[in-house]
Amino acid sequence: MPLSDHEQKMLEELERQLFAEDPRLARTFENATRPRRDRRRVGLGILGVVAGLALLVLAVALPAVWLGVLAFALMVAAGVWTVTAPAQTADGPRPGTDGRPAPTAEQQSGSFMRRMEERWDRRGDDRLG
């Protein structure tokens, strides 16, 4: 369901305010790229799943329960190994790993959060009254 015009305007206003108050965050969002997966690891994982599936079919053809269990374990292990591959970014380390300490909650909560809370309170009062 698409946003209404009013909701789109509110979202745009929130984005402008957030970017105005935290330019570092704005740069992080502008330079963000989709994390890439290691193609070799994904390829090997898919190969492992396919090999496990072939073994499973063989286990059904030969009445060998132990081979079926082994094949299933191979498929699950290969799938998990593929999915849990660490993501890589094209522009180096991930945000927040630049050696600087993370901002505390007191530093993060500024006038932006206070304004949002005031708007929320006004919105609740408008609905009640």
Taking 50 as the threshold, does the pLDDT of residue 47 lie above it?
yes
pLDDT, tens digit, 9 for 90 and up, residues 17-30: 877 887 777 777 66
- Extents of the domains making up the chain: 1-32, 36-86
113 by Cβ neighbours in 10 Å (0-12 / 13-18 / 19+) ranks as exposed
In the DSSP assignment, the letter for residue 100 is S
**Burial group, residue 9, by CB count within 10 angstroms (0-12, 13-18, 19+):** exposed
pLDDT value of residue 93: 47
